Amino acid sequence: MQAQTFSEILANRSKAALSFEVFPPKTDTSYDHLRQILPELVALKPDYMTVTYGAFGSNQGRTLEIAQSIQNQFHLPTACHLTCVTSSRAELDGILDEISAAGIRNIVALRGDAPQGQATFTPPVDGFSHANELVAHIRAREKAGRQPRFGLAVAGYPEKHLEAPSLEFDLLKLKDKVDAGADCIITQLFYNNADFFAFVDKARALGITVPIIPGLLPILSARQIARILGLCGSTLPEGLKQELDAVGDDAAKVEEIGIRQCVNQARELIDRGVPGIHFYVLNKSTHMTQIMRGLGRA
Ligand code: FAD
């Protein structure tokens, strides 16, 4: 059976589609760990999974290998993330050919961040400057018969992208990505649902009609969350910040707060009718078991 695309997964659902994002680890030991926990994540019955490309210093070369193993071994629809970082059009074409030949039907199309040591993103020679160009390129290849139609997701930022001068500017650029052919939007992590609902209202007012899927990162470690927030520009609501500050370095208590907060946040989003929730699972499974149970999905 052919794997489903984002649009097929999101169509006519009575329940929000829940998805898990994993990243290809750098070391062989962490890779073995991911292979061990994949069956545990799949047992929680996400509707699809995505595999990042070069994020968190991960190993780009293994994105397709992991996506393929999720799809072929576990029969779960999968998406490969793909960025414009350091790749020319010809190199991106080579990767797209490989993804297509592997039977993967979905791509999360991104610009990517500047490589480590570089302050700003510089477009590669004969490459793309922004994600909308990658989306347009993929759709043009399809039109030319070079590949079957992919499901395409792009990134949205409820608290605006770090480099954007304003949320309004960023939303106009998001519209460019959708107009270029994206089927849905997956958001950056956020902790205040009011930011997400305001973002959706503004996107709809601009004529963006595709599904907007909130991205949630359960907090499991105070140090890790501080680092991630610093990198992506998302913020913690004051109440949550105070709650975390009060338990300091007590890892078990931080995790307990993080899981409870994530379940509550997801419940409200689901109650308000989101089409799906994308969980940044950071290659761990135990907390996701508790979260899926909290949502009545495991
Ligand atoms: P763009 O949409 O190109 O936007 C980048 C910035 O440029 C924004 O500030 C935007 O306002 C501005 N902009 C856009 N178009 C124009 C234009 N035409 N002219 C002027 N300014 C413009 N990173 C990875 O390396 N690997 C991953 O696998 C990965 N997965 C992700 C998944 C999700 C769901 C999300 C939300 C992010 C992910 N990222 C990943 C991070 C992402 O690569 C960074 O946030 C990156 O800095 C921006 O990528 P983008 O696709 O949003 O870029």
Q: Atom 41 in ligand 1: which residue has the minimum CA distance?
A: 112
Q: Given pLDDT bands bounded at 50, 70 and 90, which one contains residue 58?
A: low
DSSP single-letter state for residue 56: G
Q: Is residue 221 part of a domain?
A: yes
Q: Atom 33 in ligand 1: which residue has the minimum CA distance?
A: 155
CATH of the domain at 246: 3.20.20.220
Q: Atom 32 in ligand 1: which residue has the minimum CA distance?
A: 155
**Ligand 1 atom closest to residue 161's alpha carbon, by position in its atom list:** 9
Q: Is residue 260 part of a domain?
A: yes
Q: Is residue 202 part of a domain?
A: yes
- 39 CA from centroid of ligand 1 (Å): 30
Concerning whether 159 is annotated as a catalytic residue, the answer is no
Task: For residue 197, give every residue at least 6 positions away whose Cβ sits within 8 Å of its Cβ, in sequence order, or none.
Answer: 272
Q: Is residue 52 part of a domain?
A: yes
- Rounded CA-CA distance 155/137 in Å is 17
- Can you list the alpha helix ranges (DSSP code H) found in 75-218? 89-101, 131-143, 167-179, 193-205
DSSP single-letter state for residue 190: -
What angle (nearest 5°) sits at the alpha carbon of residue 266, between those of residues 261 and 269? 130
| Ligand 1 pocket: which of 81, 84, 161, 162 to mutate (most atoms within 8 A of CB) | 161
Q: Is residue 110 part of a domain?
A: yes
CB 169 within 8 A of CB 203: no
Residue with tokens 């039907």: 105
Taking the model in full, what pTM does it have? 0.98
Tell me the per-residue pLDDT of 124-168, one tens digit each, with 9 for 90 and over. 999 999 999 999 999 999 999 999 999 999 999 999 999 999 999
Q: Is residue 1 part of a domain?
A: no
- 273 CA from centroid of ligand 1 (Å): 26
Tell me the per-residue pLDDT of 228-271, one tens digit each, with 9 for 90 and over. 999 999 999 999 999 999 999 899 999 999 999 999 999 999 99
Q: Is 170 in the pocket of ligand 1 (CB under 6 A)?
A: yes
Total of domains in the chain? 1
User: What size, in residues, is the chain?
Assistant: 298
- Show the domain range for 71: 6-294
Distances (CA, A) of 256 to 163, 203, 222, 249, 268: 33, 34, 12, 13, 19
